[in-house]
């Protein structure tokens, strides 16, 4: 049997909580179980010891020091790899994190997979053509989480393939919401494009109809003070801001809730929606970007127009008042997770992206036939 293929994943670590980091860590954990893959990891955001760690706390100096250490890590690590799997966001992040990894990977003549994951792709590629498109074309392949981004990239002449995000469904307690209680959860970062303010405004309308309704808001970010002030202005009751919650604690928050609220203006394939699916929580969300490709209105979730808090509230109230709706949404969503969004559903696709046969036993058979 030949040696395993050497794959290096270059992605943000969980020191910065966010969708990319969560997906990367799940992927690393699963790929390390594959006997045909020898996996390593280089973080976009290396944490340094001593004085250097203090320097990372200083604005501007932080970017310089981190970028320098990151580049040195890439130069040292990528030389001995076969496949470089680079996670990518957009705008300045695209320049600072994936771009050096792609350039160094190609300089070493390695197979480079650029795994672009931002729902802001259309705007990014339109406004940053001169920097983004040449780097994308350097990659041997571009992988995205949704058909939505496949279509966006096609508009710019970039061929991409879709490999969905996945959840570890066995780690998320599933509970049927036969008669959903007015217990809501929202868990997006406090960035403008995630529009958590729309969730709060929608919940205010829900509370006018259902005074005892409760809302847990998990997350943090630049709009923290704005959102806390909005909650006070709206006079929200039974509303708890619990801050940034690590992935291992999210399961208990999902289990305590009966309706998931989400209101982004821009999005791709949010992990939180498929996690809510796995938990059996009826999903009420705006139809931003790639969400339309995973949430089918009135089948596995409910959709509202972007930035329309009244429509979002109306759909949420339907879950509480329409007999059998919550249960039906919950069941369909759970089945979708088990068939589309688990490791067993995407494992073979990642193997093909790395140039391996679908299954490890096939790889052994191929190697044996070559020796013969």
pLDDT, tens digit, 9 for 90 and up, residues 86-113: 999 999 999 999 999 999 999 999 999 9
- Is residue 162 within 8 Å of residue 151, measured between CB atoms? no
Q: What's the CA gap between 169 and 73, in Å, rounded?
A: 34
53 band by pLDDT with thresholds 50, 70 and 90: low
Residue range 165-211, pLDDT digits in tens: 999 999 999 999 999 999 999 999 999 999 999 999 999 999 999 99
What was the pLDDT predicted at 359?
79
At 14 the pLDDT is: 72
* Same domain, residue pair 179 and 288: yes
| Same domain assignment for residues 175 and 141 | no
Task: Mark whether 66 and 124 lie in a shared domain.
Answer: yes
- 144 and 177 together in one domain: no
pTM of the predicted model over 0.75 = yes
Average pLDDT, the chain: 91
Same domain, 33 and 158: yes
pLDDT above 70 as % of the chain: 92
Q: Answer yes or no: do 157 and 196 share one domain.
A: no
Q: Which two tokens stand for residue 174?
A: 């599933």
The answer to whether residues 125 and 222 belong to one domain is no
Residues 114 and 205 in one domain: no
Q: Count up the domains in the chain and report the number.
A: 2
Question: Is 229 within 8 Å of 253 (Cβ atoms)?
Answer: no
Structural domain span for residue 201 = 169-339
Residue 100 sits in the same domain as residue 220: no
Dihedral sign for Cα 207, 209, 213, 218, please.
negative
């Amino acid at each position: 049997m030949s040696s395993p293929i050497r794959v290096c994943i270059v992605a943000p670590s969980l020191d910065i909580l966010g969708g990319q980091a969560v997906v990367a860590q799940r992927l690393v954990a699963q790929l390390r179980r594959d006997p045909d893959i020898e996996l390593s990891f280089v973080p976009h955001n290396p944490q340094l010891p001593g004085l250097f760690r203090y320097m990372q706390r200083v604005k501007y100096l932080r970017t310089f020091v981190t970028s320098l250490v990151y580049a040195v890590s890439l130069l040292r690590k990528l030389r001995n790899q076969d496949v470089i799997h680079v996670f990518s966001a957009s705008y300045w992040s695209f320049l600072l994190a994936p771009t050096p990894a792609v350039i160094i990977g190609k300089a070493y003549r390695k197979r480079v997979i650029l795994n672009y994951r931002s729902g802001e792709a259309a705007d990014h590629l339109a406004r940053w053509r001169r920097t983004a498109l040449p780097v994308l074309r350097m990659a041997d392949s571009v992988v995205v989480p949704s058909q939505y981004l496949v279509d966006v990239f096609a508009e710019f002449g970039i061929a991409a393939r879709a490999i969905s995000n996945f959840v570890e469904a066995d780690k998320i307690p599933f509970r049927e919401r036969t008669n959903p209680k007015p217990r809501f959860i929202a868990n997006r970062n406090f960035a403008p494009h995630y529009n958590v303010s729309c969730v709060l405004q929608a919940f205010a309308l829900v509370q006018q109809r259902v005074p005892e309704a409760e809302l847990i808001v998990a997350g943090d970010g630049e709009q923290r003070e704005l959102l806390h002030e909005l909650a006070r202005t709206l006079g929200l009751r039974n509303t708890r801001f619990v801050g940034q919650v690590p992935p291992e604690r999210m399961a208990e928050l999902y289990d305590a809730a009966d309706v998931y609220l989400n209101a982004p203006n821009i999005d791709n394939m949010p992990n939180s929606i498929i996690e809510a699916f796995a938990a059996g929580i009826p999903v009420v969300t705006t139809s931003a970007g790639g969400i339309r490709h995973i949430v089918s209105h009135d089948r596995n979730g409910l959709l509202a127009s972007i930035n329309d808090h009244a429509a979002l509230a109306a759909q949420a109230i339907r879950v509480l008042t329409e007999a059998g709706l919550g249960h039906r949404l919950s069941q369909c969503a759970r089945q979708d997770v088990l068939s589309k969004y688990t490791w067993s559903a995407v494992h073979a696709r990642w193997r093909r992206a790395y140039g391996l046969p679908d299954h490890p036993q096939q790889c052994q058979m191929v190697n044996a036939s070559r020796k013969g």
